[in-house]
Amino acid sequence: MAQKSHPTSSLHTQNVADELATMQPPLQVVVVSPARPLHEGAASYLQVKTPQGQLGIWPRHTDLVSGLGIGLIRVGNAKGGEERFAAWGGFLKVTGNKVTVLVDQAVRESEAKEQEPAIRKELETVLAQLRHPASDAQFEELLDQRLWCQSRLRLAGM
Q: Give the domain-ending residue among 107, 127, 146.
A: 107
Model pLDDT, residue 60: 87
* Residue 42 to residue 32: CA distance in whole angstroms: 15
Number of domains observed in the structure of the chain = 2
> Does residue 79 sit in the same domain as residue 148?
no
Per-position DSSP letters for 37-72, written without gaps between them: EEEEEEESEEEEEETTEEEEE-TTPPPEEEE--EEE
Which CATH number is 68's domain given? 2.60.15.10
pLDDT band per the 50, 70, 90 thresholds, residue 3 = very low
> Does residue 24 sit in the same domain as residue 88?
yes
Q: 12-62, pLDDT tens digit by residue?
A: 566 666 655 556 788 999 999 999 999 999 999 999 999 999 999 998 899
* Residue 109 to residue 86: CA distance in whole angstroms: 8
**Does some domain include residue 3?**
no
For residues 6 and 16, the answer to whether their CB atoms sit within 8 Å is yes
* Residue 80 to residue 44: CA distance in whole angstroms: 9
Determine the structural domain holding residue 79 and report its residue range.
Answer: 8-107
> Which residues, 6+ apart, have CB-to-CB distance to 26 below 8 Å?
42, 43, 44, 59, 78, 97
> Does residue 42 sit in the same domain as residue 14?
yes
> Does residue 54 sit in the same domain as residue 126?
no
